[in-house]
């Protein structure tokens, strides 16, 4: 069943281009319009929504954090993303004009299920983004957009994450289309690039040997830090989560702008720090800020592992290791930037002799609160 791979996780990482393409299939027509007829929430209701709340756990929560940037930018609807396990215990403000989006690979995560039940009790509509047909979360939601990752066996989520991102982008773009917000050239460019993104994921997968080599060389380290800004911040959190669960290493993700507010004190000689660099095009201010962050940590001895777009030469002098990813629109970058981090964590876990598909203390679906 592992189709020649040593682990399901490796197989599932390799399946990502197909998972992404399958999740897009039939949902964008030739003219670049989104056809999400399966989202059975009528256009009137979608136009009346004045707030979106995303609830999810773990890796799905990171997809939700990225979705917030996309939704607010493309639809101008205020959006918040909250850990499902925290949500209902703080008496959240919900009403029929709030759309709650529950993201779950398994569709059985109890924290997420309880959050959506709470939302529906308050009269909000719930849209599930889910990978498992007929599971509890979509059954209890008003509508569902399925991700087409296929079965994910490894406990650590990889291809499900990329397809959750795709589904989130589709929802954001669809809301923009239905509501007529910002539906201009920028959106058409994004839709085009999204239709093409599977090829870029494939391209990343073909250049992973140096990442594996680097991972093996770090197997005796105790700590790895991850930094990012904007959508690179949730990517950093996801890179850290993968490393914790697979390599059992201390790994933390930070918003790079927060460094000077505390975390920079952690930097010491030869500490590996992975930095996700946003595209120098588009939001170039962010790019320049992160380049200075890289300089700051390197001056304090960090070993910098820089993930940057092809053609971005400004980072070269400050990168002890440089991982190249294809150029994409800023908001779509997580689809390509996460892949090296998955490979990195998987290879480190293997080098440390850990069980990759079944990390200690973890279960694939968490059906208790």
Question: Which residues are catalytic, by number?
Answer: 364
Residue pair 201/57 in contact (Cβ under 8 Å)? The answer is no
Alpha-carbon gap, residue 117 to 218, rounded angstroms: 44
Angle at the Cα of 141 (from 102 to 139), degrees rounded to 5? 115
Among 16, 104, 279, 328, binds ligand F6R (CB under 6 A): 104
Among 60, 235, 294, 337, binds ligand F6R (CB under 6 A): 60
In angstroms, give the least distance from the CB of 109 to ligand F6R: 3
Alpha-carbon gap, residue 225 to 273, rounded angstroms: 5
Does 57 engage in binding with ligand F6R (CB under 6 A)? Answer: yes
Does 81 engage in binding with ligand F6R (CB under 6 A)? Answer: no
In this complex, which beta carbon is closest to ligand F6R, that of residue 122 or of residue 365? 365
In angstroms, give the least distance from the CB of 301 to ligand F6R: 31
Residues 6+ apart with CB under 8 A from 62: 161, 234, 235, 237, 238, 241
Does 365 engage in binding with ligand F6R (CB under 6 A)? Answer: yes
Q: How far is CA 354 from CA 8, 200, 300, 351, in A?
A: 14, 30, 32, 8
Binding mask 260-299 for ligand F6R (x = CB under 6 A): ----------------------------------------
In angstroms, give the least distance from the CB of 33 to ligand F6R: 29
Among 16, 59, 85, 147, binds ligand F6R (CB under 6 A): 59
Residue whose token pair is 């319009």: 33
Q: How far is CA 206 from CA 4, 268, 339, in A?
A: 17, 33, 11
In this complex, which beta carbon is closest to ligand F6R, that of residue 319 or of residue 366? 366
Residue whose token pair is 């996780």: 9
The residue whose Cβ lies closest to ligand F6R is 58
Classify residue 206 as exposed, middle or buried by CB count within 10 Å of its CB (0-12, 13-18, 19+).
exposed
Mapped onto helix, strand or coil, the DSSP state of residue 220 is: coil
Angle between the N-to-C axes of helices 334-351 and 209-217, in degrees from 0 to 180, rounded to the nearest 10? 40
Q: Determine the interface stretch with ligand F6R among 106-114, 191-199, 274-282, 330-338 (rule: CB under 6 A).
A: 106-114
In this complex, which beta carbon is closest to ligand F6R, that of residue 223 or of residue 365? 365
Catalogue the E-assigned strands of the chain.
Answer: 51-56, 79-83, 98-104, 125-130, 143-146, 223-228, 250-255, 272-276, 303-309, 321-325
Does 366 engage in binding with ligand F6R (CB under 6 A)? Answer: yes
Does 157 engage in binding with ligand F6R (CB under 6 A)? Answer: yes
In angstroms, give the least distance from the CB of 146 to ligand F6R: 13
The bridge status of strand 321-325 relative to strand 250-255 is unpaired
Does 58 engage in binding with ligand F6R (CB under 6 A)? Answer: yes
In angstroms, give the least distance from the CB of 242 to ligand F6R: 6
Does 105 engage in binding with ligand F6R (CB under 6 A)? Answer: yes
Among 98, 106, 141, 147, binds ligand F6R (CB under 6 A): 106
Residue whose token pair is 């694939």: 364
Alpha-carbon gap, residue 334 to 93, rounded angstroms: 30
Q: Determine the interface stretch with ligand F6R among 51-59, 72-80, 317-325, 343-351 (rule: CB under 6 A).
A: 51-59
Among 85, 98, 109, 328, binds ligand F6R (CB under 6 A): 109
In angstroms, give the least distance from the CB of 214 to ligand F6R: 21
**Contact footprint for ligand F6R (CB under 6 A):** 57-60, 104-106, 109, 112, 156-157, 241, 245, 365-366
């Amino acid at each position: 069943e592992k189709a020649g791979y040593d682990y399901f996780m490796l197989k599932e990482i390799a399946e990502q281009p197909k998972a992404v393409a399958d999740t897009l299939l039939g949902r964008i027509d030739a003219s670049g319009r989104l056809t999400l007829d399966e989202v059975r929430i009528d256009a009137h209701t979608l136009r009346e929504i004045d707030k979106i709340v995303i609830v999810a756990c773990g890796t799905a929560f990171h997809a939700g954090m990225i979705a917030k940037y996309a939704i607010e930018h493309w639809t101008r609807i205020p959006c918040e993303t909250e850990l499902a396990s925290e949500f209902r215990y703080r008496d959240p403000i919900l009403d029929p004009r709030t759309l709650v989006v529950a993201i779950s690979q398994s569709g059985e995560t109890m924290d997420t299920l309880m959050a959506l039940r709470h939302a529906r009790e308050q009269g909000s509509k719930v849209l599930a983004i889910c990978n498992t047909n007929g599971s509890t979360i979509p059954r209890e939601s008003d509508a569902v957009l399925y991700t087409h990752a296929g079965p994910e066996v490894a406990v650590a989520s990889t291809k499900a994450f990329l397809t959750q991102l795709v589904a989130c982008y589709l929802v954001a773009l669809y809301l923009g289309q239905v509501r007529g917000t910002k539906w201009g050239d920028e959106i058409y460019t994004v839709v085009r690039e999204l239709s093409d993104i599977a090829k870029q994921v494939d391209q990343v997968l073909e250049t992973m040997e140096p990442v594996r080599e680097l991972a093996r060389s770090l197997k005796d380290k105790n700590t790895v830090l991850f930094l990012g800004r904007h959508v690179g911040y949730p990517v950093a959190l996801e890179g850290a989560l993968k490393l914790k669960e697979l390599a059992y290493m201390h790994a933390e993700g930070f918003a790079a702008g927060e460094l000077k507010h505390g975390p920079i004190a952690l930097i010491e000689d030869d500490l590996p720090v992975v930095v996700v660099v946003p595209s120098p095009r588009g939001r170039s201010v962010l790019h320049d800020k992160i380049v200075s962050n890289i300089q700051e940590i390197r001056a304090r001895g960090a070993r910098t592992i820089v993930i940057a777009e092809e053609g971005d030469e400004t980072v070269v002098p400050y990168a002890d290791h440089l991982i190249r990813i294809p150029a994409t629109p800023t908001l779509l970058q997580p689809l390509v930037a996460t892949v090296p981090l998955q490979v990195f964590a998987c290879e480190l876990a293997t080098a440390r002799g850990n069980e990759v598909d079944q990390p200690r203390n973890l279960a694939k679906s968490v059906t208790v609160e």
